[in-house]
Amino acid sequence: MNKKDLFDQIVKKKSYLCVGLDTDIKKIPSSLQKEKDPLFEFNKRIIDATEKYCVAYKPNIAFYEALGAKGWESLQKTLEYIPSHIFTIADAKRGDIGNTSTLYARAFFETMNFDSVTVAPYMGEDSVKPFLEFKNKWVILLALTSNTGSKDFQNLKIDGEDLFMKVIKTSKQWGNASQLMYVVGATQASMLGRIRKEVPEHFFLVPGVGAQGGDLEAVSKEGMNKECGLLVNASRSIIYASSENDFADKAAAEAKNIQKEMETYLNKYMK
Amino acid sequence: MNKKDLFDQIVKKKSYLCVGLDTDIKKIPSSLQKEKDPLFEFNKRIIDATEKYCVAYKPNIAFYEALGAKGWESLQKTLEYIPSHIFTIADAKRGDIGNTSTLYARAFFETMNFDSVTVAPYMGEDSVKPFLEFKNKWVILLALTSNTGSKDFQNLKIDGEDLFMKVIKTSKQWGNASQLMYVVGATQASMLGRIRKEVPEHFFLVPGVGAQGGDLEAVSKEGMNKECGLLVNASRSIIYASSENDFADKAAAEAKNIQKEMETYLNKYMK
């Protein structure tokens, strides 16, 4: 998917919500456990219930990988079920030397048909570039993450500047705003404004709203640009809004609430 | 596997060779392509041919993941085929927020039964610690990698010190030398001595010898400690020593050559 198609969806749905499919086999309602593929069955119902309110789905690959080959089958089926106008993110945080990164890119862009994959920056340019060679596919590079451990290295000072900012300044030369996004955690909204100044046109994938406590209005105010420029992810607060058989209805209600809030912020802050 | 068992193997086999199973479906001899599971069949023959000369096998997960669910089955079968006295490394370079890292750890330590997994440090302590909670399992943390892009961030200076050194100094507080190793690329042997001073007891996984041009004697001289402390990986130079039907014999010969060289260095530098 290209940037224009993504922006068109945001305008049409008045939403920049990404629903995180962190689907945990242990948290799926017991009524679904008897299905042949409980993970896929759960995702299918979540997708049916929330697709009106979101513009992206982000399966968290660890949750599928933990089940081995069977988990990869559930992932593949989930991906195929997502309507093609919705942006898909493989949250995989891969990154390795060049020829290995090429194979990870093939895994997510060819064997599966994701629009984007999250990539870790530690190994530098030749670990990221192979992902950027695929047309209409995106790298979402980790910049500033939402976990407490982000402080250990991402906030180290290099010539007075945070490492995460150095990662952004260096990597923005590797790809343009039509193929490269950044992960910027919602728990650090104060940093979002600074990052937005550095990369005015790039999209940010913002995790950490909801269960992790980030503030959606602050994120929107600091991070939005004239094409929205934000995909804000919520996972657990939507998909586990209820642990009972009404989980899909409750997920829809929660996604709708967020979409309504986002509609307000699009009117208020998109410029 | 614990540290004593690993060291015992090194002494017994007079080797600290790790064979990298970067098994590329496109590089497998055509005679194997008709097998039901060509990747596994190739690995099986490589393992049969080289197990006398090495103490570890390191499947590069990207090569299996690129084939989807089928690749994960080949990986699982390969892992089960490796003799239990040989150390196994999932070269996966994972790393995510805490609950997600727990699932990656389950994928490699429980769903599969690897002894260790390579982990990227960028997200900090809570992304690494979940892997350290498994008994007799190991984290192999990226410190200084062997690719050209390693310079982009790993050599940035923080208070006059390289980022990779900061990663080592910080992370050595998270786990001890019986559960934590470091990836230190062979292409930067001059750095190995400095790192060895900082972490005298930790094992290093050293990629980059062979196809990537690292010097085995320099690495051994700079990096060895009194329990060897090194696992030196060679992938392509062994498994693709021949592209014909004699690939296993040629792999054995190459592995044996390296083992013989290692025997010399163990006598010369282990202290």
Which residue among B76, B97, B163 places its CB closest to the CB of A68? B76
d(Cα A15, Cα A6) in Å, to the nearest integer? 11
Residue (of B228, B176, B226) closest to B206 by Cα position: B228
- Model confidence over B2-45: pLDDT tens digits? 999 999 999 999 999 999 999 999 999 999 999 999 999 999 99
Measure B70 CA to nearest chain A CA, in Å: 7
What residues of chain A lie within 8 A of the CB of B149, using their CB?
97, 123-128
Where along chain B do its domains lie?
Answer: 3-269
CB contact under 8 A, A65 and B156: no
Low-confidence ranges of chain A (pLDDT < 50): none
Cα separation of A218 and A223, whole Å?
A: 8
**Per-residue pLDDT at A188:** 74
| Superfamily in which the A3-266 domain is placed by CATH | Aldolase class I (3.20.20.70)
Q: Which chain B residues have a beta carbon less than 8 Å from that of A120?
A: 93, 95, 120, 122-123
Residue B186 — very low, low, confident or very high, per pLDDT cuts 50/70/90? confident
Q: Between A and B, how many CB-CB pairs are < 8 A?
A: 180
Considering all CA atoms of chain A, what is the largest pairwise distance in Å, rounded to the nearest integer?
Answer: 57
Listing DSSP states for A159-213 in one string gives TTEEHHHHHHHHHTTTS-TTTEEEEE-GGGHHHHHHHHHHSSS--EEE--BSTT-
The Cα A107–Cα B19 span in angstroms is: 23
Residue B137 to residue B158: CA distance in whole angstroms: 31
**Of the candidates B69, B127, B163, which has its C-beta nearest A72's C-beta?**
B69
**pLDDT tens column, A92-128:** 999 999 999 999 999 999 999 999 999 999 999 999 9
Got the DSSP string for A4-45?
HHHHHHHHHHT--EEEEE---GGGS-HHHHTSSSHHHHHHHH
- Residue B128 with chain A: CB contacts under 8 Å: 149
- Confidence (pLDDT) at A212: 60
Superfamily name and number for B3-269: Aldolase class I (3.20.20.70)
**Within a 10 A sphere around the Cβ of A193, how many other Cβ atoms?**
12
The complex scores an ipTM of: 0.95
d(CA A44, CA A67): 18
What pLDDT, on the 0 to 100 scale, is given for residue B252? 98
Record: contact B123-A104, CB cut-off 8 A: no
What is the reported pLDDT for A253?
Answer: 98
Cβ atoms B144, B188 nearer than 8 A: yes
Nearest CB among A73, A123, A167 relative to B147 is that of: A123
Q: Give me the active site residues of B, please.
A: 93
